[in-house]
Amino acid sequence: MKMMAMVAAVLAFLGFRLFVQHQLQATMTSATTNAAGCLSMIGNTTREENGATYIVGSFKNDCARSVGQVTIIFKVDGAMDSNFNHRDSFFQAYERDVAAGETRNFKTLFSMGKNATYRFDSFNAF
Q: In what order do the strands lie in the sheet with 67-76?
A: 89-98, 67-76, 118-125
Question: 23 falls in which pLDDT band (50, 70, 90)?
Answer: confident
Domain segments of the chain as ranges: 1-32, 36-125
pLDDT category of residue 32 using cuts at 50, 70 and 90 = low
Look up the pTM and report it.
0.69
SS3 59: strand
**What confidence tier does 59 reach under pLDDT thresholds 50, 70, 90?**
very high
pLDDT at 115: 84
36-125 belongs to CATH 2.60.40: yes
Instruction: Say which residue, 57 or 36, is predicted with more confidence.
Output: 57
Cα angle for residues 63, 18, 16 (degrees, 5° grid): 115
Point out which residues pair with 105 in neighbouring strands: 58
Does 28 score more than 80 pLDDT?
no
Contact 37, 65 (CB under 8 A): no
Give me the chain's average pLDDT, please.
Answer: 84
Mean pLDDT of 56-75: 91
Amino acid, res. 107: K
**pLDDT at 84 > cutoff 70:** no
Segment holding 27, helix H or strand E: helix 2-32
Looking at residue 101, the DSSP 8-state letter turns out to be: T
pLDDT of the residue at 50: 92
